[in-house]
Amino acid sequence: MEKSASGLSGLPFLRILIPAVVGILTAMVCYVPLAVAASCCAVAVACAWIFRRGVPGQIYAWLAVALFFFTMSEVRRPESSLPAGRRIVFEAEVLETPTVRGRWRATTARVSWWRYAEELDGSSEWNYSDRDTASGPKGLDWQRVEEKVLLSVDTTYRLRLGDRLLVRGWFNPLVSFSAATTDDDSAVKNDSDGESYVRLMHRRGVFGRVYVTPGNLLDTLAAETHSPSLFFARLQSRAVERLARLHLAPDEYGVAAAMTLGDRRFIGSDLREAYARSGAAHLLAVSGLHVGMVFVLINLFLWLLPAFPRGHVAKNLAAILLIWLYAALTGLSPSVVRAALMFSFAQVALAASTGRSALNILLASAVVMLAINPNYAGDVSFQLSYAAVLAILLFYSPLYRWGRTRSRLWNVVWGVTAVGLVAMLGTAPLVSYWFGRFPLVGVVINPAVVLMAHVVVMGGLLWVVCPIGWLAPLFGGVISTAARWQNEMVVWAAAQSWASAGGRLPLWGVLTIYAFYIVLAVVLHRRKREKSLSLPV
């Protein structure tokens, strides 16, 4: 029994993930026609079946997995079809709630139709209202695409999620970072040549930027009323309105809305920069920490269901549904999807009442996410999320045992500190590689700000779910105090001269450090296993 639980045999999803990552990385550096890749994958699957009882069968199985993910990478390879350096007319649907930055409302939009603008100059027959949504606009010149762009719209226009715009403008390829970026990319802009930012956006399927001014906006089109994204945007808007009933101070409300509901519009630029400099910016983007709180809250609310017939099944199905509802409500970013998948697997494991491994659950969520979209592997938020959670799973227990004492109060403080420390060390190489700097002060303030974040998020969610009027002063006071203390600690930390250290690790340095982490994890696991086997029966 011990033997089967050790090594790779105890981590079945790791045996899938290793060749999967190899296949994805290979697709990043070389190109093979899709038909050839798919044919090779089919041959490998056939060979794995024919030789399934021997070592060659295992080798072919690994090869089949690698080739499958290689093929999926080719299928999902982001490519731009919009022409650079030419004026075009296009339809764009707003995909994210716009954020005001200077004279622009910055957001991401999806282009669905386009044609060259020169063909319409001087013509009165370009009327887009003749468009047939089933087969496309009338005429052979309109082209159907599915491509994302960064959209910067003049603030004279009101812009909401779901709006569709007809624009005549220039498609500007991303060749370096620009003034307006998404919130989680603010640190990437420090890259002197902009290559990190461009690679990141290309992995997300964004290849260019379009500026919309009063001179090039041709028309506004009715929103797709049955769009799922629009439905969840309205749901999020109602939740944000409920949170606003607590009448929090601007900075406190901005932080509470960002951490609870994923709406970062209300955070000032100075406070946003303070969070980035202090290493606490991850608190403002909904991720595994926040989904984990929701997971706990849901199971607490549904604890009575198993007392009813088939209540156990109903509880777990409802929990998974609510986890994904929260993920959709906050924007379905890669980190949120990863966390929702992980906690969905955890809920299934709880339902089965079997021995479960948190590491296996995490690896299973990674395999599923990469199978859906291999481009997640190159996304910085995906990498940081998995690096942090893996570090906690592998190194938290040994570090906690090392510092544990007989004092319960110290053990609580040390436990929170240890979580922050291992997460910081786990993500440090990636932070240095992507952002060119590493926050040092985060080690000092992390235990306190994470504690405050728990109060803000759980209090905010409870209020959104149960907005009982006479409880508003209580919820408002608790959330306001926790958010204010959190902001004050972050601002103080960001003001310190030693808040962060500069320096960018090369790729080989990042790989070397993670190789050391893997060796250290294996050594610690073997020592723990040897100690457990040496105990007297």
Output the pLDDT for position 251: 92
C-alpha 209/C-alpha 152 separation (Å) is 8
DSSP 8-state class, residue 83: P
Instruction: Tell me how far apart the alpha carbons of residues 448 and 428 are, in angstroms, rounded to a whole number.
Output: 20
What's the first-to-final CA gap in the chain, in angstroms? 16
* Strand ranges in 198-278 using DSSP code E only, listed in sequence order: 206-212, 217-221
Inter-residue long-range contacts of 528-535, CB under 8 Å, 24+ positions, other chains counted: 528/398, 529/2, 529/6, 533/2
CB 289 within 8 A of CB 450: yes
What pLDDT is attached to residue 222? 67
Name the residue type at position 125. Answer: E
Q: What is the pLDDT of residue 65?
A: 93
Predicted local distance difference test score (pLDDT) of residue 134:
42
What per-residue confidence (pLDDT) applies to 10? 66
Gap between the Cα atoms of 11 and 461, Å rounded: 35
Residue 102, phi then psi, degrees to nearest 5: 70, -125
Digits of tens for pLDDT over the chain (537 positions)?
A: 344 444 555 678 888 999 999 999 888 888 888 889 899 999 999 999 988 888 888 899 999 999 999 999 888 887 788 888 778 888 888 877 777 777 888 888 888 888 887 655 554 444 554 454 444 444 447 788 888 888 888 888 877 777 888 888 888 888 754 433 444 444 344 443 356 677 777 777 788 888 888 888 888 776 665 667 677 777 788 888 899 999 999 999 999 998 888 888 888 888 888 887 777 777 787 777 788 778 877 888 887 887 788 888 888 888 899 888 888 878 776 677 777 887 887 787 667 655 456 788 888 888 988 988 888 887 777 888 788 888 888 888 888 888 888 888 888 778 877 877 888 788 888 888 877 777 777 767 877 888 888 889 889 988 988 888 888 999 999 999 999 999 999 899 888 877 777 777 888 888 899 999 999 988 887 877 766 655 554
Q: What are phi and psi of 89, to 5 degrees?
A: -110, 130
Asked whether 335 and 359 are in contact (CB, 8 A), the reply is: no
Residue in 69, 66, 48, 45 with CA at minimum distance from that of residue 57 = 48
Give me the residue label for tokens 């595994």.
288
Q: Which long-range contacts (CB under 8 A, 24 or more apart) does 317-323 make?
A: 319/295, 319/347, 320/344, 320/347, 320/348, 322/294, 322/298, 323/291, 323/294, 323/295, 323/298, 323/347
